[in-house]
Amino acid sequence: MQQRFEEVLAPNLYYDRNFDMDAVKILPGEYYVSTRELLMVTVLGSCVGACIRDRISGIGGINHFMLPDDKRDEDSRFGRSMRYGDYAMEILINQLLKLGARRAHLEAKVFGGGNVLPGFKNHVVGERNARFVMDYLATEGVPVVAKDLLGNHPRKVYFFPATGRVLVKKLRSLHNDTIIERELSYSETLRQSRVEGDVELFS
Amino acid sequence: MAKTILTVDDSPSIRQMVSFTLKGAGYSVTEAVDGQDGLDKARAGNFNLIFTDQNMPRLDGLSLIKQLRGLPQYRSVPILMLTTESSDTMKSQGRAAGATGWLVKPFDPQKLLEVVRKVIG
């Protein structure tokens, strides 16, 4: 039986000496939410990351995901890929609401969706992820107050949820293939995983 | 006459997806935008089945189920949780509150319909 893939709370907390504050590093398939002053950092290739915060309380969070590539449903709005994307976004929003954020006060900044994975077919991966996140937020009525999507370079994103400030660094030269390898590994895990939740009827 | 289903979720994307799936199978679907809206619509109607999310503004899913189970017309109507929550603790709380079953998102439309057919035919 296929293993189920779940988005997880990022476990990589550290102290960032450049910004002189606590920080958390978010890898593909992870998200993080916080009520306190905390720097959230992620590096996006063809994946997308949504920085969402309550503009009144400053409660904020970030995710880092891509849609599973499933040729069976292509880009059907209710197909497997889109349902997974909905889930990746909803789990972040739910965690924010649990911390006390108000849905009506949410705003988003979105990044990523670059054309960075090798291979002819992969040029649409980032574009598909970028289109999804914009469509999702429009449907949910969450305003997108800033975005930096598509293009040919990975991005390092620094999100300060308490203020909503985001710094984006375009990585025009890469010292190694870590970003691409991580995304390919995440993509392969998604492809091989069951992206449907369990069903249980109580007797 | 088509069986009636109330789907309660604060996410428009999920409401659209659940409605699309259920309407396609011939059910009549009413949407509610949060737990309180769900309670109001449930009181005003007489649904054969209710789907509810857990984390919602105003009234969460477990509180909604407890309130519905206190209403004579919903004492034995199937109520299914459809949520991103997957912990055993939450499932136990759902069961104690009176949920009929627990479906973890993302959902498979075919499995959703199988469950619906199992509980209301």
In a 13 Å sphere around the CA of A67, the CA atoms on its Cβ side amount to 29
> Mean pLDDT across the stretch A187-199?
84
Mean pLDDT of chain A: 89
Number of domains composing chain B? 1
Choose, out of A6, A7, A78, A193, the residue to mutate when testing the contact with B (most B CBs < 10 Å). Answer: A78
Which of A 7-46 lie inside 8 A of B, CB atoms? none
Distance from CA of residue A69 to its chain's centroid? 16
> Mean pLDDT across the stretch B14-42?
96
| CA–CA dist A196, A138 (Å, integer) | 24
CA angle A128, A32, A88 (to 5 degrees): 35
Long-range contacts from B40-46, C-beta under 8 angstroms, 24+ separation: B41/B6, B42/B6, B42/B68, B42/B71, B42/B74, B43/B71, B45/B4, B45/B6, B46/B4, B46/B73
Spell out where chain A has E strands: 8-9, 12-16, 21-26, 30-34, 39-44, 48-54, 60-64, 106-112, 144-149, 155-160, 165-170, 199-201
Does the pLDDT value for residue B68 go beyond 60? yes
Neighbours of A196 (CB within 10 A): 23
Cβ contacts below 8 Å, chain A against chain B, sum to 81
Q: What pLDDT is attached to residue A124?
A: 84
| CB A32 within 8 Å of CB A65 | no
Confidence at A197, pLDDT banded by 50, 70, 90: confident
- Which one from A23, A47, A133, A184 is the annotated catalytic residue? A47
Neighbours of B6 (CB within 10 A): 24
Choose, out of A65, A70, A194, A202, the residue to mutate when testing the contact with B (most B CBs < 10 Å). Answer: A202
User: In this structure, are strands A39-44 and A30-34 parallel, antiparallel, or unpaired?
Assistant: unpaired
Does the pLDDT value for residue B5 go beyond 60? yes
Q: What pLDDT is attached to residue A188?
A: 85
Q: What pLDDT is attached to residue A203?
A: 73
Q: What pLDDT is attached to residue A119?
A: 66
A76 touches chain B (CB under 8 A): no
| CB A131 within 8 Å of CB A82 | no
Q: What pLDDT is attached to residue A121?
A: 60
Active site residue A51: no
User: What residues of A are in contact with residue B91 (Cβ under 8 Å)?
Assistant: 200
Dig out the tokens for B45 from the structure: 């109607």
Contact A136 B20 (CB under 8 A): no
Mean pLDDT of chain B: 95
Does the pLDDT value for residue A10 go beyond 80? no
Q: What pLDDT is attached to residue A73?
A: 60
Does the pLDDT value for residue B52 go beyond 70? yes
> Mean pLDDT across the stretch A169-189?
84
CATH assignment of the domain containing B32: 3.40.50.2300
Read off the DSSP letter of residue A122: G
Task: Name the residue range of residue B23's domain.
Answer: 4-120
pLDDT in tens, A129-146: 999 999 999 999 999 999
Domains in chain A (CATH in brackets) are 8-192 (3.30.1330.200)
Contact B99 A202 (CB under 8 A): yes
| CA–CA dist B90, A78 (Å, integer) | 27
Distance from CA of residue A153 to its chain's centroid? 17
Instruction: Report, in this order, helix, strand and coil percent for chain A, each rounded to 5.
Output: 30, 35, 40
